[in-house]
Amino acid sequence: ALRDSATGLAYLHSQKAIHRDVKAANLLLAADGAVKLADFGVSALSDATLARAKTVIGTPHWMAPEVIEGAAPYDARADVWSLGITAIELVKGRPPHIELSALLAMYTIVNEEAPSLDASAHDAALATFVVRCLEKSPTERATCAQLLDEAPLPADRPRLRILADAAIATAA
* Cα–Cα distance measured from residue 163 to residue 159, given in angstroms and rounded to the nearest whole number: 7
Bridge partners of 35, per DSSP, are 29
Residues found in the chain: 172
Q: Which residues contact 138 (CB under 8 A, 6 or more apart)?
A: 64, 66, 74, 75, 77, 78, 81
**139 SS3 class:** coil
- Are 108 and 128 in contact, with CB atoms under 8 Å apart? no
Please give the Cα distance from 23 to 40 (Å, whole number): 12
Name 4's Cβ contacts closer than 8 Å, sequence gap at least 6. 34, 35, 36, 157
What's the CA gap between 52 and 74, in Å, rounded? 5
Task: Confirm whether 32 is a catalytic residue.
Answer: no
Which of 4, 21, 75, 79 is flagged as catalytic?
A: 21
The catalytic residue positions are 21
